[in-house]
Amino acid sequence: MDEARKIRLLVAPMLFIASLLLGGALSDQTAANFIALKDQDWSKLIGIIAAGGVGVFAAGYGIGTITQFLLRLIFCLKARFWGGFRFHEVALSDDSFKRVWDQIGAPGKPDRALELYAGAAFDFGVLRTHRKGVHEWLFRRWNGFNTAVNSFWPLILSLPIGHWGIGIPWSVMWCLPVLILAVALGFVAFWAWRDTMIMAGFMASLKNAPKLGDSSEGG
């Protein structure tokens, strides 16, 4: 697994834990519980913390899986009942999608049911070969989108889970920073998603743009 994806999987659970720690640190009850640890077996506590690294990574994978499932479901339902884009991974305007379809040399008329595969073929087949810098830029923006959207809802859920599940009292000093960060993550996710889709369409619209199967390579 590449390093970028590893980091992406770790950010969401770490933010979730950080939110709970912040809420707990602002709670007098949590401070009392921490003092009570002096009578516990610290070697067991250290073992639990060490094992937590594996748990955090597994939680990150689970969060990412649920996020991808929900996004795919939402876009499929939206396309079925209200029209529009079918896949969140590739969502191009009609003109952009037609240009991408032509760039990869796909036969027949553009088929929205194949939009995901056409977009992947254009990015990895055309841009990665002939416009590597743009492909890497798209990769960074898409990684930023996934990191932000994966972190958004666990951060929001940390408030009710921390309150009702752990007993952390709600306070302005806890909830306000968490909500501000969650809103910022939501905007960052939207901007990164939009930038990715616009750039893909823009690259397909360039004059003399390379096509899938061309032997010449570019930067």
In the numeric block, which tokens belong to residue 137? 């830029």
Q: Which residues contact 34 (CB under 8 A, 6 or more apart)?
A: none
Q: Do 214 and 177 contact (CB within 8 A), yes or no?
A: no
What's the confidence (pLDDT) of residue 35? 45
**CB-CB contact of 157 with 165 (8 Å):** no
pLDDT of 199 reads 95
d(CA 131, CA 45): 51
pLDDT along the chain (219 residues), means of 10: 76 90 76 49 48 71 94 93 90 92 93 95 94 95 96 95 88 95 97 96 85 65
Q: Which residues of 69-107 are buried (b: 16+ CB within 10 A; e: fewer)?
A: eebeeebeeebeeeeebbbbbbbbeeebbebbbebbebe
DSSP state of 38: G
What predicted TM-score, i.e. pTM, was given to this entire model?
A: 0.85
Q: Are 117 and 88 in contact (CB under 8 A)?
A: no
Provide the 8-state DSSP code for 82.
T
Helices (H), the chain: 3-25, 28-35, 42-81, 94-103, 115-120, 128-130, 132-160, 172-205
Residue 144 confidence (pLDDT):
95
CA dist., res. 14 & res. 21, Å (int): 10
CA 78 to chain centre: 20
Helices and strands, number each (H, E), in the chain = 8, 0
Encoding tokens for residue 102?
């032509």
